[in-house]
Amino acid sequence: MEYKIPLFLIPQPEDGYTVTSPLLPELVTEGDSLNEALENVQDTFAAVLELYQEMGRSLPENTQIPDAKGPMWLETVVSTS
């Protein structure tokens, strides 16, 4: 299943990033690099999804992508040299 969730990537003074979601307050993770932080989101989101299922809660509306083979909106950070 594919989902779309907004993420905040907060740079940390000691390097690395903390990742949170305004839509899912239980989703909090981090990583030493941007890539690592984003990779950790998958595991953390899976844990949040399991928690919601155990509690009988549904995810907020419009988080599930009904047709993952169709077009999707993505905003990302792109850096140049």
Q: What's the pLDDT tens digit per position in 42-62? A: 999 999 999 999 999 999 988
Cβ(19)–Cβ(30) under 8 Å? yes
pLDDT at 33: 94
SS3 call for 31: strand
Tell me the C-alpha distance between 41 and 32, whole Å.
13
Strands 8-11 and 17-20: antiparallel
Decide if 28 contacts 44 (C-beta within 8 A).
yes
**What pTM was estimated for this model as a whole?**
0.82
Ramachandran angles phi, psi of 64, nearest 5°: -85, 130
- Distance, in Å, from the CA atom of 11 to the CA atom of 46, rounded to the nearest integer, reads 23
Tell whether the model's pLDDT for residue 73 goes beyond 80: no
